[in-house]
Every structure is written in structure tokens, then in C-alpha cells.
Amino acid sequence: MRNIVGGAAAALIGSLILGGIFIGADILRRTYPLILETDFTLPLVLTWLLLGSVSGLFSNSPWNTVRTAVWIGTCLGLLSVISILSVTPEFWTSPDRNLALLLIFISAIVTSLLTIPTAIAIILVKRRLFRDQEKPPPEKIESVCSACGAVFKSVPILCSECGALMENEQRPQTK
């Protein structure tokens, strides 16, 4: 769920930024040609770096970052299709619609992979900042049945010897 939320948030922020910098509804579809134009290269690169920062806040590991990047691409592809349909509704009935949709989603997902380097840097910074807040693993896990005295190397709910309900402070109490 975290990947979907991170992807949607980054896609929405990126779309707002790209829409604010560039005028035009189909800007997300034209990312590759625009990045080769020197006037738009710096704003696009900065936008993707910002999206990587946003996705890094939602990710916990490098693999998680890749999944978030794919969700960013999927959300950008959906936003791109919505913007194309709002400008040209006849797109949906065009004969080359399926190929165009495929190219839109492929280019959005491939382009969204540009967020990974920044997101991984954010993850490494987060790990350093929160390293001291992590709880150390317990030295040993052992519980004793209060009814019969059986010793377990786990935290069971019921005693396997006498069937009594185990009372343990490690397990959260439910009411």
C-alpha cells in the first residue's frame, strides 16, 4: 500500500510541477523529445529528482523504491491518458489507440525509473537518521507457563503441555 501511495503522491506532485512549468495537456507523453531540447532539460531533471525525493520518503528499501517508481510510472501514464482524452476525445476511437496507449505507459514507466537514484539516497539518509531509534532484537525469547512451569523458546498463546492460556507481557493485550 505504501508503494501505491508514494507513487500516486509523486505522480500528482510531478504532474502539477510539469503542468506549471510547461503549458500543454500532453506534456507527460512528450517527455523523451522534450528532454533533448536544452530549454527543458534542467526543469525536467529537477522534477525527476524531486519525485525521487518524494518516493524515497515512502520507501524503506531499494527494492521498495523500484516498486514505487513503477507505481509512479503507472500513475503518470494514467494522468497522461486522462489529459489526452480531455484534449482530444476522439483519441479513444482512433485505430492506433492500443499502440499509443502501450507507448504512453512504457515511456511513463521507463521515465519514472529516473527517480530511483534520488530515492535510494533519501533511503540511506533516513536509515542513518533513524538508526538509533530502532529497537534492538531481544537476547532470548523464552516464556514459562504459569500453570505447569513448561518452558518455551517462543511466545505461544496456549501451553502445549497443559492447554492453559499463556500470559505474556511481550504479546499485545486485546480486549
pLDDT one-digit tens code per residue, 117-175: 888 888 888 888 887 676 777 777 888 888 898 888 888 888 888 888 887 655 444 44
Taking residue 131's Cβ as centre, other Cβ atoms within 10 Å add up to: 8
Asked whether residue 128 falls in the same domain as residue 142, the answer is no
- pLDDT band for position 13 (50/70/90)? confident
Asked whether residue 95 falls in the same domain as residue 142, the answer is no
Please give the Cα distance from 24 to 83 (Å, whole number): 9
Please give the Cα distance from 165 to 159 (Å, whole number): 6
Asked whether residue 142 falls in the same domain as residue 129, the answer is no
Residue-number span of the structural domain to which 150 is assigned: 137-175
Q: What are phi and psi of 88, to 5 degrees?
A: -130, 90
Task: Give pTM, 2 decimals.
Answer: 0.58
Please give the Cα distance from 133 to 25 (Å, whole number): 45
Domains: count for the chain: 2
Asked whether residue 49 falls in the same domain as residue 102, the answer is yes
Please give the Cα distance from 43 to 99 (Å, whole number): 29
Reported as type and span, the H/E element at residue 129 is: helix 116-129
Asked whether residue 20 falls in the same domain as residue 74, the answer is yes
More confident residue, 116 or 32: 116
Asked whether residue 109 falls in the same domain as residue 168, the answer is no
Asked whether residue 123 falls in the same domain as residue 53, the answer is yes
Please give the Cα distance from 25 to 79 (Å, whole number): 10
Asked whether residue 142 falls in the same domain as residue 74, the answer is no
